[in-house]
Chain A
Amino acid sequence: MNWLMQTLSSSIGKKLLMALTGLSFLGFLAAHLAGNLTIYAGPDAFNAYADKLQSLGPVLRVAEAVLLTFFTIHVVTGVFLFLQNLAARPARYAVSRNPGGKTLGSATMPYTGLLILVFVVFHLLNFTFVDKTGTTVFQIVAASFQNPVYVGLYVLAMVIVALHVSHGFWSFFQTLGLNHPKYMPLVSGAGIILSLVFGIGFGFLPIYIAFMA
């Protein structure tokens, strides 16, 4: 298995790891968003969705374990790449200018990534690792979003996620070498649409809950 380690630990291999694990998070986000949208059907529908999800038991545990593993790989590889890239240019330029190419999404990738990591921990502490006896998930969520600071933080976090996805989605295709003149415009467009769907889809929920409750 030396060949596998050799391939994955190379510069292109590390990109490959980032791309593959990153794509799995898009799948996670899609599923998470689909579940969250039940909020629009009322508290009961949302609670029913949460109960149904928990009733999956072992299946859910496996999915969580896979996600956690991928998350760890994505974060550790990302930090490693970031430090390696810093070290590749020990002396910085006195004058630097973007001659084209760099976007807000691409330029902030390591930082939005780090902020998402902080948000995920905050989010889990907020809604997942809490005592749920005698209350429903919806009540916990609704109580949190009574606080405008929480609403602001969550909306901001979703803008950051959207930025991260805007560069991440097409990068996945580029990194895997899936570049084709017929499909590349479609991929770039899909990346922007996807980032908007996640940004607006998730970002509007806290506002909706704050005003509804």
Chain B
Amino acid sequence: MTQGKHTINLTLKVWRQNGPGDKGRFDTIPVRDVETHMSFLEMLDWVNETLTMEGKEPIAFDNDCREGICGMCGCVVDGVPHGPAKAMTLCQLHMRKFDDGDVIAIEPWRARAFKVVKDLIVDRSALDRIIQAGGYISINAGNAPEANAVPIPMGMAEKAMDAAACIGCGACVAGCPNASAMLFVSAKISQLALLPQGRPEAAQRALKMVATMDAEGFGNCSNHRVCEAVCPKSISIVNIARMNREYIKAGLVSEVA
């Protein structure tokens, strides 16, 4: 591999919106000498530095850990949530994925349930409210229980862990042609439904989380599987099938209303 500096010139078309009430617009920002070793967010930092020096308003975007595990970052880059790389958050995407002269469109997650706060930042508290509705287990607090008291087969633990990999970034909603949150909700339902600790409240959880999801104004699932393709954690739509099963069981068979 060649060492040293590699730089490219880009044109960013960035969505700028002063607040939830603002109509918003695209700003065209030419960026010169972008180092390809930069992550996408570092590139935005760098652009913001220049904008600030010029006395202009920097681009507002969400971010936190910058190592792909917190779920804070994410924009739609050229029509794809988290950009062109598979199974990767925006902070893990590097500028070497782009070519010199590229025009890059950067838009916020778009969904009725996600209001734009500013520029590329959207309010994802709807996802929090879905978790509050049932994405937990109720236990008596106290000492940590003996780890091997409840035997869990390895395969089950793995499946639960795969679902629990969801970082709640909202890319599934952003990518879904219907702005549906089913992949998110199904991951959260699955991670608990697969384990014995989650079973006692499984029916109630399915009913309440789905009801909250619907009330928040997310769309419906039409099995496009785009969510799965854009998920930075590659969460499978097998989880949506499991959620459907859990919900149908809870609604039509269980005694929980």
Contacts and interface: CB of A to CB of B under 8 A. Distances in A.
Contacts of B177: 85, 102, 107
B241 interface: yes
A171 B223 contact: yes
A89 B112 contact: yes
Contacts of A173: 241
Interface stretch (B139-147, B160-168, B206-214): B206-214
Interface in A72-105: 81, 84-85, 87-103
Contacts of B218: 11, 88
A173 B245 CA distance: 10
Nearest to A7: B251
Interface stretch (B50-58, B74-82, B127-135): B74-82
B91 interface: no
Given A10-B247, A13-B251, A177-B241, A93 B110 contact: yes
A148 to B, nearest CB: 36
A177 B226 contact: no
B222 A92 contact: no
Interface centre among A107, A109, A170, A174 (most CB of B within 10 A): A174
Interface in A27-65: none
B69 to A, nearest CB: 21
Contacts of B112: 87-90
B248 A16 contact: yes
B113 interface: yes
A97 B214 CA distance: 26
B210 A11 contact: yes
A7 B219 CA distance: 17
A87 to B, nearest CB: 7
Given A15-B244, A90-B112, A93-B107, A109 B179 contact: no
B222 A94 contact: no
A171 to B, nearest CB: 5
A190 to B, nearest CB: 16
Nearest to B236: A179
A56 to B, nearest CB: 33
A14 B8 CA distance: 49
B119 interface: no
Contact of A101 (B180, B217, B229, B246): B229
Most buried by A among B26, B112, B223, B242: B223
Given A12-B210, A100-B229, A175-B244, A84 B79 contact: no
Interface in B216-257: 217-230, 237-238, 240-248, 251-252, 257
Nearest to B80: A99
Interface string B61-92: 00000000000000010111100000000000
26 contacts: A3-B252, A7-B251, A10-B247, A11-B220, A12-B243, A12-B247, A13-B251, A15-B220, A16-B248, A84-B220, A85-B177, A88-B217, A89-B110, A94-B13, A95-B105, A95-B107, A101-B229, A102-B226, A106-B225, A107-B177, A109-B222, A167-B223, A171-B223, A174-B223, A174-B241, A177-B244
Given A85-B180, A88-B218, 14 more contacts: A3-B252, A7-B251, A11-B182, A12-B247, A13-B251, A16-B244, A84-B219, A87-B219, A88-B179, A88-B219, A98-B226, A102-B224, A107-B224, A167-B223
Interface of B: 13, 15, 26, 76, 78-81, 105, 107, 110-113, 175, 177-180, 182, 210-211, 213-214, 217-230, 237-238, 240-248, 251-252, 257
